[in-house]
Structure 1
Amino acid sequence: MSRKLIVGIGELLWDLLHEGRQLGGAPANFTVMSARLGNRGVVASRIGADELGNAARLLLQTTPVDSTFLQTDADYPTGSVSVTIEDGQPEYVIHEPAAWDFLELTPEWRTLAGSTDAVCFGTLAQRSERARETIRSFVAATGESCVRVFDVNLRKPFFSASVLRDSLRLATLVKLNDAEMPQVLALTGLSNETRMDEAALLAGARLLLAAFPLRMVCVTMGAHGSLLVTPREHHRHHGVAAKVADTVGAGDAFTAALVCYYLQGAPLAALNEAGNRWGSWVASQPGAMPPLPEETYQTITRAIQSA
């Protein structure tokens, strides 16, 4: 695979778990996984001038990600989230304000945007007006060939109908889970359907494709796999079995793998296989940024190629 420049813009934060803290944030998780898969992954976020910020920088230095574009805020703390796991699913208390609420479109960030092959952004980091404007301006400053990935990632109460609509208008690909589909359709005024069966998800994806300038809708279904839909075709994957440690970061790994293979022009079946393989692996590990042994990388890569 050719090496691509992939940016995750938005929140970088510490997940405060019962057993300790883990560095995370959906865009950061996405970027670290993108880098582990051989790309130049750049974290575009903002941290505080505090112990958690210093710890974040030190930890990122142990990964292949490029953290040189991280901004430091003198007034606001590094982001943190209290996480509890209920029946294998994470529940969050997201603390505010945080340094990433004050992202700034610096000249360096604007230059970065112009050379980016793919950028991933979500709703949470758009909770403040300043960060929202910075994210949208960064995405708008990318080139025509850049793949703009909107990872919906709804976290109450940090989303709205206007944020969803504006983000969907900017995106090339949108990724959401089956529980989010009815909410997105309702908030965008496309449907009041509440079912989440496969037929309803496929119909919902087609509504999104018709209403917004999207090339693909990616719907994840947890352990039951995923559904990829384009204007011309769709593909269903029924998932990869795993012994789950926790699901924090699994969806971000799915997105990173899917984007990696999408940039190489792979067919839908390969995108789905890659996303499910890597998402399943992260779910089997504690934390959102588990270390990736070379043997594991080679094993999973061969499984994707074989499939």
Structure 2
Amino acid sequence: MSEKKFIIAGIGEILWDVLSPTDKRLGGAPANFAYYAGKFGAESYPVSSIGNDSDGNEILSVMKKNGLSTDYISRNSHPTGVVNVNLDSQGKPCYKIKEDVAWDHVEMTAKLLDLSKKLDAVCFGTLAQRSADSRKTIQKFISGTNPECIRILDINLRQNYFNLASICESLDMSDILKLNDEELPVVSKMMSLEGDEGKIIHALMEKFKLDIVILTKGAKGARIVSRTEDISEIPTKKVDIVDTVGAGDSFTAVVAVGLLQKKDLSNILSEANEVAGIVCSQSGAMVEFSSKSISS
């Protein structure tokens, strides 16, 4: 008898990451998350919208090529999302995100509500909530999940597309918060939280009744704090960084699948660090690798 596959979704933006006039890659944090969750054996679904245009047609084609389900990708009259990505000397991206695009207008449907009720885990962020249409849909979708579903907020603060209200509303719906070492000071300042890294993490956990907070720190590794554990790890493998696009999303996906598989947090952290390193060593958000090659 085959093992039951966990059903996981990433809801929000799907788009083209344009790295140069001749180089565009499929991206968007929720879509990247779904891609990597699928790599680790989940039945995964990106939930988003694309335009009725050639960019949208290409997205569907690349999704199928990458093994991503298109079942919950709707189409509307707005243009398909595009992000211009500039990489610095360390491969860290700077994003210029086009506004009023298809993923700003994701509509709630009975089909989406049915999916939400089946989920074992879901990941969402703040970027796609910059517009009223998608914010309403995302909040209904998350609210429609069952109590056992793991709800992950991968905060993804981008440009000026976030505010205190949207962050707090999202945290109130979440079990897990994932953010990086550049986002933590921004969030703590907005909420007037003081103290060191650990104190701020625990304050967020108490304020929003979170089960886990995940803090990623690039080459300095990551930290996972739960109600009973506080684990940090610095990656031991040296990685030649090409770019860091999609690395955080792969990390989140490994955590989601690992928690559903009831793995120890220390093992999850090691595996997530290793996968993020592999993603950083290749160009683009959705890189090719086998989950069987992961040492942990």
1:228 corresponds in structure 2 to 224
Where 1:289 maps in the other structure, the secondary structure is coil
Where 1:243 maps in the other structure, the secondary structure is coil
2:192 corresponds in structure 1 to 189
Instruction: Please state if 1:238 is matched with 2:228.
Output: no
- 2:68 and 2:120 mapped to 1: Cα distance? 15
Partner AA of 1:114 in structure 2: K
Equivalent residue for 1:174, pick from 151, 174, 177: 177
2:211 corresponds in structure 1 to 215
5 Å matches for 1:72-91?
Answer: 72-73=75-76, 75-87=77-89, 88-91=91-94
Partner AA of 1:220 in structure 2: T
- 1:7 and 1:121 mapped to 2: Cα distance? 9
**Deviation, structure 1 residue 64:** 2.6
Instruction: Please state if 1:297 is matched with 2:294.
Output: no
1:197 corresponds in structure 2 to none
Does the 8 Å CA contact 1:206/1:231 hold for their aligned counterparts?
A: no
- 1:187 and 1:164 mapped to 2: Cα distance? 10
Instruction: Please state if 1:48 is matched with 2:46.
Output: no
2:276 corresponds in structure 1 to 279
**Deviation, structure 1 residue 218:** 0.1
Partner AA of 1:142 in structure 2: T
Partner AA of 1:130 in structure 2: D
- 1:201 and 1:176 mapped to 2: Cα distance? 12
Instruction: Please state if 1:104 is matched with 2:100.
Output: no
1:20 corresponds in structure 2 to 23
Cα shift readout 1:79-123 (whole Å, capped 9, x = no counterpart): 000001012110110001110000111000000000011110001
Q: Please, what is the CA RMSD of the aligned residues?
A: 1.2
2:254 corresponds in structure 1 to 257
1:147 corresponds in structure 2 to 150
2:197 corresponds in structure 1 to 201
Does the 8 Å CA contact 1:47/1:53 hold for their aligned counterparts?
A: yes
**Deviation, structure 1 residue 2:** 4.7
Equivalent residue for 2:166, pick from 163, 168, 175: 163
Cα shift readout 1:121-149 (whole Å, capped 9, x = no counterpart): 00100000111111011000000000000
- 1:2 and 1:213 mapped to 2: Cα distance? 30
Gap runs ≥5 in structure 1: 194-199
- 2:292 and 2:10 mapped to 1: Cα distance? 24
1:8 corresponds in structure 2 to 10
TM-score scaled to structure 1, two decimals? 0.92
Does the 8 Å CA contact 1:254/1:275 hold for their aligned counterparts?
A: yes
**Deviation, structure 1 residue 269:** 0.2
